[in-house]
Amino acid sequence: MAILTTVASPDRQALGAGRYLPVWTWKVAALGALAIWLFVVGAHHEPWLDESQAWLIARDSSLRQLLVERVRYEGTPGLWHLLLWLCIRLGLPFAGLYLVSVTCALVGAALLLWCAPFPGPLRALLVASYFGAYQYAVVARSYALDLVLLPALASLFACRTKRPIPYGILVGLLANCNAHSFLLAGVLGAEFLLALVYAGRVRAGLAGLAFAAVLGVSALAVAWQPADNAFLDDHGMRMPPLPAGFLFLQDALVDRWAFWSAQRPPFPGVSFSLLLMLPSILLFRRAGTLPLMAALIAVLIGFSALTYSHPWHSGILFLVWIFGLWISWSALGASPTLRNAVIAALAITGVAQATQAARTGIWDIGHPYSGAAQAARTIAGWRAEHPHASIAIAGFKAMAVQPYFSANIFANYQGGAPQPSYIVWKRGEAWRPFATLAEARAAVAGGYDLLLLSTDGIAPDDLVQFERMAGGQGYRVIAAYPDSLEWKGYAFDDDKLILLARADEVIK
């Protein structure tokens, strides 16, 4: 009896003098700190084109148009667009877009804090990772859904054959997030079937398999690419397959030794991420999860290398890495050396990414991520003074001003019709998103009263020549708005929006 009275409950931590602190208090504190951080940074974040595009499609579409006609041109399934469609019809304004992704991040962080098998300090550090505390949480895109679904799948993985319905639903929902997650869902769905066969529970798991299959087929139907999709025609792959694959891996964990700096990392700088992954590979082998993890990582890197590559997709690989460690963690008990190595790799990654999340978020609070919000305010004031004047657009990033207006404001886009106000990625469209300089010259030749130009993709010398040519046609630059996409603490895309007006117009 004396022994029982001196042993603390496993749900409490001793404070001394017979007082105890429930262990969930540090989890609440960690989640609360993350929430304050995300709400502050999100409230200062200016959405850029990719965030605005999804919002505009959801705003301007009926449910049928959204899922049958329009999302397929975005190269993605429609769960994110559907979520935005519902939020808009429930009254969420565009200024609250960040609340959607922040909510996803907080739900995912809660799952990690309360359910993950990692030591407490590591859990607290991981919720502050770059992708969970900035890139997929503040920048509101479909990847925010992965912050919820991959931890949820990890928490159910050990009992997936005993709880097949919730696991199957989660696999199906994962397939509907984005193209990368669709591939992950395919691998996880195949493994789910094999696990049920091995456990002799195929009949009991039929409902879960059915949910996964139906939702997966639905995702494929919504995302099936139309023959006239022009996105890759204009945009294309940024680099050859091998460098693209290396870059994907490099950005997933720690992209440079001086992770606290504002300097773009050298390429290739993949060695550090590979070094951090080595203990995990040994753990996956010991836990018997190596075939699954190899397949998940291979489809992600392969897709990035062979189709379309961009560094911020690498966050999916980071989340898959955490998923693999989560489902394999119990195998560390028999090897203290391996346990220490895995914990060290997690800690180094967590510290580096938390530093980069803090650096990028602080930058976002004090600087414009996109110049669209400032440009929209100027244009709104100008339209109030000139209600019958015409406005032209050149360059796809300038489309990010459209959510601040109830309909399309550009006379040289879709013939000035109120809708669509989003970019239509169809071959044969008169307006070319990436032919920026040519579109700018055409807009000047068209004699519009105001021109909003995105300088993305225009060489500095070409921009000087264009401004000189526009001046000869009676236009002058009346405002310029900084626009810089930050990535892990450094400027990834540094361009701006420029507003030009005919010399006989007055901006007040």
To the nearest 10°, report the CA torsion of 191, 197, 202, 206. 20
- Answer whether residue 270 shows pLDDT above 90: no
CA proximity to 156, closest of 363, 369, 327, 381: 327
Angle at 500 between CA 499 and CA 506, to 5 degrees: 105
Domain containing residue 171: 12-16+18-366
Most confident of 167-171, 312-316, 333-337, 424-428: 167-171
Q: Give per-residue pLDDT as tens, 111-149.
A: 999 999 999 999 999 999 999 999 999 999 999 999 999
Please, which pLDDT band fits residue 20 given cuts at 50, 70 and 90? low
Q: Provide the total of helices (H) and of strands (E) in the chain, helices listed first.
A: 21, 6
Is 301 domain-assigned?
yes
Are 385 and 361 contained in the same domain? no
φ/ψ of residue 485, rounded to 5: -80, 115
Average pLDDT over every residue of 324-346: 95
How remote is the C-alpha of 8 from its chain's centroid?
A: 43
Are 259 and 401 contained in the same domain? no
Q: What is the 3-state secondary structure of 201-254?
A: CCCCCHHHHHHHHHHHHHHHHHHCCCCCECHHHHCCCCCCHHHHHHHHHHHHCC
pLDDT at 409: 97
Are 395 and 311 contained in the same domain? no
CA–CA separation, 126 vs 118, rounded Å?
A: 10
pLDDT at 15: 45
- Answer whether residue 478 shows pLDDT above 50: yes
Least confident of 10-19, 132-141, 158-167, 495-504: 10-19
Q: Give per-residue pLDDT as tens, 218-240.
A: 999 999 988 888 876 655 546 67
- Answer whether residue 23 shows pLDDT above 90: no
Hey, what are 77's tokens?
């399934």
Contact partners, residue 57, CB within 8 Å, separation at least 6: 66, 70, 71, 74, 81, 422
CA–CA separation, 356 vs 3, rounded Å?
A: 47
CA–CA separation, 201 vs 91, rounded Å?
A: 45
Write down which residue in 336, 366, 396 finishes a domain: 366
Are 288 and 389 contained in the same domain? no
- Answer whether residue 268 shows pLDDT above 70: no
Please, which pLDDT band fits residue 9 given cuts at 50, 70 and 90? very low
Q: Which long-range contacts (CB under 8 A, 24 or more apart) does 338-344 make?
A: 338/279, 338/282, 338/283, 338/286, 341/279, 341/282, 342/279, 342/280, 342/283, 343/119, 343/122, 344/279
Are 270 and 395 contained in the same domain? no
pLDDT at 264: 84
CB atoms within 10 A of CB 90: 7
Are 66 and 213 contained in the same domain? yes
Are 395 and 257 contained in the same domain? no
Write down which residue in 338, 366, 394 finishes a domain: 366
- Answer whether residue 3 shows pLDDT above 80: no
Please, which pLDDT band fits residue 491 given cuts at 50, 70 and 90? confident
Is 2 domain-assigned?
no
Is 5 domain-assigned?
no
CA proximity to 187, closest of 222, 218, 140, 150: 150
Hey, what are 396's tokens?
């796809």
- Answer whether residue 24 shows pLDDT above 80: no
Are 325 and 385 contained in the same domain? no
Write down which residue in 366, 382, 417 finishes a domain: 366
What is the tally of structural domains in the chain?
Answer: 2
The alpha carbon dihedral of 177, 181, 187, 192 has a sign of: negative
Hey, what are 109's tokens?
């962080």
pLDDT at 55: 98
Please, which pLDDT band fits residue 267 given cuts at 50, 70 and 90? low
CA proximity to 118, closest of 338, 326, 335: 326
Is 6 domain-assigned?
no
Are 321 and 459 contained in the same domain? no
CA proximity to 154, closest of 198, 111, 201: 111
Q: Give per-residue pLDDT as tens, 33-55.
A: 999 999 999 999 999 999 999 99
Q: Across all residues in the chain, what is the average pLDDT?
A: 90
Please, which pLDDT band fits residue 484 given cuts at 50, 70 and 90? confident
Q: What is the β-pairing status of strands 490-502 and 450-454?
A: antiparallel
Q: Give per-residue pLDDT as tens, 379-409.
A: 999 999 988 889 999 999 999 999 999 999 9
Contact partners, residue 394, CB within 8 Å, separation at least 6: 436, 437, 439, 440, 442, 443, 451, 452, 453, 454
Is 4 domain-assigned?
no
Is 461 domain-assigned?
yes
CA–CA separation, 217 vs 432, rounded Å?
A: 32
Average pLDDT over every residue of 315-329: 97
Is 7 domain-assigned?
no
CA–CA separation, 444 vs 170, rounded Å?
A: 51
CA proximity to 403, closest of 108, 53, 156, 164: 53
CA proximity to 398, closest of 426, 418, 384, 378: 378
pLDDT at 504: 67
Please, which pLDDT band fits residue 493 given cuts at 50, 70 and 90? confident
Is 1 domain-assigned?
no
pLDDT at 19: 55
Are 208 and 226 contained in the same domain? yes
Q: Which residue has the higher pLDDT, 15 or 312?
A: 312
Please, which pLDDT band fits residue 434 given cuts at 50, 70 and 90? confident
pLDDT at 37: 98
Are 411 and 294 contained in the same domain? no
Are 361 and 382 contained in the same domain? no
- Answer whether residue 11 shows pLDDT above 80: no
Length of the chain: 508
SS3 229: strand
CATH of the domain at 475: 3.40.190
